[in-house]
Amino acid sequence: MDKEIEKEIYQIRKILVNFKKSDFHYMTSFYHSSGFPRGCCGDATDLIGLYLLEFHGIESEYICGEGLINNLYQSHAWLLCQGYIIDITADQFNDIGYKLPDVLIQVQSDFHDSFDTKTTHPTSIEGLQDTNIPNVLSKVVSLMQA
């Protein structure tokens, strides 16, 4: 993965952490969660996928895994891009015994492999145009450029 793009992904994570709930549209998990990153994996994955597509022309795949994690049924979403797992919310599982980084960009992850069922779909601008993810991305990008 390009080092400059990695830096941008870290920057996006930092911006999302520093947003207040009121900074997000009420129709996103960012607004309804108990605090980023908890419960925000789907929208965060869509946001990173849309960013990579719109600003770098890089296609990615949204992956949702489900299964027993530390004896609890969990679901979680992350991105697969150019052979890399990209996950900016995995650290939400540190509360149940994991030691995951706040931004994970790597080729292989035992944590992600531990999910039993995985569903996938390609990230697309058309698929996200009727959501509020483009609005959140616009706010994030304006702060990145400031």
The domains of the chain are located at 3-136
**pTM score, two decimals?**
0.92
Compute the distance between CA of residue 104 and CA of residue 106 in angstroms, rounded to an integer.
Answer: 6
Residue 74's beta-bridge partner residues? 67
Tokens found for residue 43: 């929208």
DSSP calls for 41-71: HHHHHHHHHHHHHHHH----EEEEEEEEETT
Predicted confidence (pLDDT) per residue in 45-102, tens digit: 999 999 999 999 999 999 999 986 766 788 999 999 999 999 999 999 998 888 999 9
**Which residue from 45, 71, 75 is spatially nearest to 60, judged by alpha carbons?**
45
Q: Which helix (H) or strand (E) holds 86?
A: strand 84-87
